[in-house]
Amino acid sequence: MAAKRKYLNYTTPWGVDLARIAAADWTPFLIHESGYQPSLEDWNHQGVDSPFWRFYYNPKPGCHLLFQGQKIPLEPGNAVLIPADTVFDCVGPKRACHYWLHFTTTRPGVSFPAKPILVPADDTLKPMLTRIIQAHQQPASDTRDHQLLHLGSALLHTVFATLETPSPTTVPERLLLVLSLIARSPHTRLTNRFLAERSGMSVERFIRSFREHTGQTPASYVLATRIRLAGEALALTDKTIDQIAIETGFPNRHYMSRMFARQVGCGPAEYRARQRDRKGM
């Protein structure tokens, strides 16, 4: 007869309970692309911008970014983390030895300044970067790609651990479920009443609690999420604008175009063309 197993609590009096931090902190990183080129002939791109984040590291000196007149060197001693919607120039007066990572991450109620962040390539970060570059130099295979995904995730966690970000506030689990629903199902009819019912609160209490923990009304948050997801689809896929409008919850492409232009400053078609013309790496 098998021995009866004792119940073990998931926390102890001696450890640090991180569940409350995980619930309110950055969501897991969604990595879109990991890339490395040892010798890019032309790395001059003006007005690079995107709805996703970027991480840049150049193992050899000589290139830099230009942000609002400020020169940001890309060299072996530092990397650069670039939040979404940051507009900058890539300047490559010589061949660029360049590693890049494109990814998405969000945090409820936190707006990150749209400007590049210099990250020292210290004794912890540099071996990770070396290992990732070595992985890129291996023959293409599913094993190599899985390795790049895990190494990229570890790299981003290491980088974000060094950032001084606002202290996370505890978001109630019922609101986290609503935020997850909005991100996963933007195409559904996300009315205040529907979301309030999913959270188990009255409409008035739900709106008040939502604003308290995210800094936005539910309607504003839903629209911003739909615009963000539409921007990612425009930049990263070949889906038609009509298809993207349906998948992100807009009644038609014309309404999406109007809302998109109001939030982003240009229509979806122009935005997609700009992304392709100024993609950069």
Q: What is the pLDDT of residue 255?
A: 95
Residue whose token pair is 């205040």: 192
Phi/psi for 127 (5° steps) reads: -60, -35
pLDDT(118) > 90: yes
Q: What is the pLDDT of residue 165?
A: 67
The ranges of the chain annotated as CATH 1.10.10.60 are 173-277
Is 225 within 8 Å of 106 (Cβ atoms)?
no
Amino acid at 84: A
Q: What is the pLDDT of residue 28?
A: 73
Q: What is the pLDDT of residue 249?
A: 95
Distance, in Å, from the CA atom of 60 to the CA atom of 99, rounded to the nearest integer, reads: 11
Assigned superfamily of 173-277: Homeodomain-like (1.10.10.60)
- Give whole-number Cα distances, 159 to 2, 143, 164, 233, 279, in Å: 46, 24, 11, 26, 24
| Mean pLDDT calculated for residue range 120-146 | 95
Confidence of residue 94 (pLDDT cuts 50, 70, 90): confident
Most confident of 119-128, 215-224, 258-267: 119-128
- Which is more confidently placed, 158 or 278? 158
| Mean pLDDT calculated for residue range 227-233 | 89
The ranges of the chain annotated as CATH 2.60.120.280 are 27-161
pLDDT(120) > 60: yes
Give 179-206 pLDDT, tens digit per residue: 888 988 999 999 999 999 999 999 999 9
pLDDT(129) > 90: yes
pLDDT(54) > 80: yes
Confidence of residue 139 (pLDDT cuts 50, 70, 90): very high
pLDDT(130) > 70: yes
- Which is more confidently placed, 109 or 175? 175
Share of the chain above pLDDT 70, in %: 86
DSSP assignments along the chain, one per residue? -PPPPPP--S--TTS---HHHHHHSPPPPEEEEEEEEEEES---EEEE--SSEEEEE-SSSSEEEEETTEEEEEBTTEEEEE-TT--EEEE-SS-EEEEEEEEE---TT----SS-EEEE--TTHHHHHHHHHHHHTSPP-HHHHHHHHHHHHHHHHHHHHTS--PPPPPPPHHHHHHHHHHHH-TTS---HHHHHHHHTS-HHHHHHHHHHHHSS-HHHHHHHHHHHHHHHHHHH----HHHHHHHTT-SSHHHHHHHHHHHHSS-HHHHHHHHHHT---
pLDDT(246) > 90: yes
DSSP assignments along 232-248, one per residue? HHHHH----HHHHHHHT
Confidence of residue 111 (pLDDT cuts 50, 70, 90): low
Choose among 78, 54, 52: nearest CA to 162: 78
Amino acid at 275: Q
Question: Considering only 41-50, 66-75, 242-251, which range has the smallest mean pLDDT?
Answer: 41-50
pLDDT(62) > 90: yes
Choose among 34, 20, 70: nearest CA to 171: 20
| Mean pLDDT calculated for residue range 209-235 | 89
Confidence of residue 241 (pLDDT cuts 50, 70, 90): very high
Q: What is the pLDDT of residue 82?
A: 95
Distance, in Å, from the CA atom of 269 to the CA atom of 179, rounded to the nearest integer, reads: 28
Domain covering 27-161 assigned CATH 3.40.50.300 in the classification: no
pLDDT(279) > 60: no
Q: What is the pLDDT of residue 16?
A: 75
Confidence of residue 176 (pLDDT cuts 50, 70, 90): confident
Is 170 within 8 Å of 24 (Cβ atoms)?
yes
